[in-house]
Amino acid sequence: MNSNNIFRPAGSEKAITGTGLRHAGRVHANLHAPELIGHAIRREEGALSSGGALMVRTGLHTGRSVQDKFIVDEPSTRDGVWWGAINAALPPESFVRVCDHVRGYLEGQELFTQDLYAGADPAHRIRIRLVTTHAWHALFARNMFIRPPASELAGFVPDFVILHAPDLELDPATHGVRSGTGVILSLEQRLVVIAGTQYAGEIKKSIFTVMNWLLPEQDVMPMHCSANIGPGGDVALFFGLSGTGKTTLSSDASRQLIGDDEHGWSKDGVFNVEGGCYAKVIGLKREAEPEIWDAAHRFGTVLENVVADRDGVPDFMHGGLTENTRACYPIDFVANASPDGQGGVPRHVVMLTADAFGVLPPIARLTPAQAVYHFLSGYTARIAGTEKGLGKEPQATFSACFGAPFLPRRPELYGEQLAASLARTPVTCWLVNTGWTGGPYGTGRRIALAQTRALVNAALDGRLDDVPFRVEPHFGLSIPTHVPGVPDSLLDPASTWAEPAAYSRAAADLAARFEKNFETFREGCGPEIREAAIRPPAS
């Protein structure tokens, strides 16, 4: 392939403007998917699957490097950052050394740049310029974010720049970081530096962190959630951590998909932050998730750490490299995707948890105060087989706002935004357990996807509006007594256990975990939220 003859869209001559790079070798600016895939094959970055997707491996890092994330400690932003384990501080002088090192490495190399948007609503949009040494990472970003029309590239000036050097290791002694990997955000300089990791999710989540910083100042609530629209124009939000079904449940052929992961909620409605999907595909089956299956077999999709046979046929059941296998594709690969990535004010908010202890009901209606409480809690449970290093017993996980690693500000601020958003217009809130019933993981069974879909569809379609509810004693949750198409026995988790006393002990234990976790936020919450908090029953 003669890359000198490849079409270069308008704006390529300014490809490194605003990045701090003084010069570069060959620069491939704003190439489309076919050109980027051609370069990736030429450079041996990946190979094509039998369906045409680009299959890549990320080496040592198959997920986010949580302990290697830093925010630069700068005077203009210092007081607003939620410092601690989530957002470690990097001194400005260390960041200068990091930037000099990374820019020195990038200068003179073959580079790939992409000019993209984050934010489907033009009123709340930022312009991003990615500079990377890998063609496949440029394709990932092009799939993941919003692609401007050619007419808007000529005068493109980035609001934020990402300097991406996946093969370059940092020196902890020189650069003040923890390891050879660094994901560093300067909110003052509007610059993201990523080095020492090929895992592409760092690109996506660094910009989400940026939006979580910017949008609250615009009276917009940033959300780690998926969103879709019903036939009547009703918008539903789906909050949930990895493995809870956020992407799966929002990808419904009967509803229009706004987006699968990151959104903003303004007074005018909901908008997608991104222009693509990053679906977890371990265990992917066509009959259960046809929209994701079809997208994962298309030319232009990136398959990350998915194993294939000699003929290039992906094996989505194989987690030999990692359980965190992913497919990244433009959202228009989903047939029923919203063309503009926007919808009206939400009518339903669904909070998802995969409770591996088997004690939460499969669906419950929440009051607004309970919704804010569960939002701040961000509960799910991890099990062996979904993440490395887990033992045989489930592990409770609490991630504030269902996305603590991406929160640059304190969680209570986002909780206050949710409370204000729920107060502006009538919204029905639900807690949906996609985890276990009849006992914990290893004893009970996982709730069937078909049953979860039936429960969610009944809630969104209004078929639970006139159904009687009862309040269960352990978590104060309102449970419907009947849902069409679902056995009544499934709705009451206690009745599915062989030993009622064992259920009560397990429920009390989980309630105590909720109570302990809430101590972190109690002082920053109002009386309604504190009153809605879960407490273990008095012994």
**Which domains are delineated in the chain?**
22-44+64-218 (3.40.449.10), 221-266+345-532 (3.90.228.20)
| 447 and 249 Cβ atoms separated by less than 8 Å | no
Q: Which residues pair with 54 in a beta bridge?
A: 48, 302
Q: Is 37 exposed, middle or buried (0-12, 13-18, 19+ CB in 10 A)?
A: buried
Rg (CA), the chain: 23
* Rounded CA separation 20/104 (Å): 10
Nearest to 126 by CA among 240, 222, 196, 249: 222
**3-state secondary structure at position 118:** strand
The sign of the dihedral angle between the CA atoms of 204, 206, 212, 217 is negative
Residue 285, annotated as binding a ligand: no
Q: What is the pLDDT of residue 387?
A: 45
* Rounded CA separation 144/146 (Å): 7
- The amino acid present at 208, given as its one-letter code, is F
| 349 and 319 Cβ atoms separated by less than 8 Å | no
Q: What is the pLDDT of residue 392?
A: 62
| Strand pairing category for 47-48 and 54-56 | antiparallel
- The amino acid present at 125, given as its one-letter code, is R
Residue 55: half-sphere exposure toward Cβ, Cα within 13 Å: 22
Q: Which residues pair with 63 in a beta bridge?
A: none
**pTM for this entry:** 0.92
Nearest to 275 by CA among 114, 115, 120: 120
Residue 197, annotated as binding a ligand: no
CB atoms within 10 A of CB 233: 10
Residue 202: half-sphere exposure toward Cβ, Cα within 13 Å: 32
* Rounded CA separation 499/8 (Å): 68
Residue 403, annotated as binding a ligand: no
For residue 225, the 8-state DSSP code is: E
Q: Which helix (H) or strand (E) holds 511?
A: helix 500-518
| 477 and 364 Cβ atoms separated by less than 8 Å | yes
Q: What is the pLDDT of residue 4?
A: 41
* Rounded CA separation 506/496 (Å): 13
| 151 and 176 Cβ atoms separated by less than 8 Å | no
Residues identified as active-site? 64, 205, 224, 242, 246-247, 261, 326
Q: Is 318 exposed, middle or buried (0-12, 13-18, 19+ CB in 10 A)?
A: middle
Q: What would the two tokens of residue 172 be? A: 């902890």
Residue 447, annotated as binding a ligand: yes
Q: What is the pLDDT of residue 66?
A: 92
Residue 246, annotated as binding a ligand: yes
Residue 245, annotated as binding a ligand: yes
| 359 and 386 Cβ atoms separated by less than 8 Å | no
* Rounded CA separation 229/249 (Å): 12
SS (H, E, C) 176-211: CCCCCCEEEEECCCCEEEEECCCCCHHHHHHHHHHH
| 506 and 443 Cβ atoms separated by less than 8 Å | no
Q: What would the two tokens of residue 428 be? A: 């029905």
Residue 64, annotated as binding a ligand: yes
Assign 3-state DSSP to the chain and report helix, strand, coil percentages, each to 5: 30, 25, 45
Q: What is the pLDDT of residue 253?
A: 85
pLDDT tens sequence for the chain (539 residues):
344 444 444 334 478 999 999 887 789 999 999 999 999 999 999 999 999 999 999 999 999 999 999 999 999 999 999 999 999 999 999 999 999 999 999 998 999 999 999 999 999 999 999 999 999 999 999 999 999 999 999 889 999 999 999 999 999 999 999 999 999 999 999 999 999 999 999 999 999 999 999 999 999 999 999 999 999 999 999 999 988 989 889 988 899 999 999 999 999 999 999 999 999 999 999 998 899 999 999 999 999 999 999 999 999 999 999 999 999 999 999 999 999 999 999 999 999 999 999 999 999 999 999 999 999 999 999 875 444 444 467 899 999 999 999 999 999 999 999 999 999 999 999 999 999 999 999 999 999 999 999 999 999 999 999 999 999 999 999 999 999 889 999 999 999 999 999 999 999 999 999 999 999 999 999 999 999 999 877 65
Q: What is the pLDDT of residue 7?
A: 41
Nearest to 33 by CA among 388, 279, 229, 302: 302
Sole residue written with tokens 């991630």: 399
* Rounded CA separation 129/114 (Å): 6
Q: What would the two tokens of residue 449 be? A: 């996807």
Q: Where would I find the H helices in 252-315? A: 290-296
* Rounded CA separation 33/138 (Å): 9
Give the Å distances, CA to CA, from 137 to 131, 165, 213, 328. Answer: 10, 10, 24, 11
Give the Å distances, CA to CA, from 375 to 231, 251, 294, 371. Answer: 27, 22, 32, 6
Nearest to 69 by CA among 214, 164, 178, 210: 178
SS (H, E, C) 409-463: CCHHHHHHHHHHHHHHCCCEEEEEECCEECCCCCCCEECCHHHHHHHHHHHHCCC
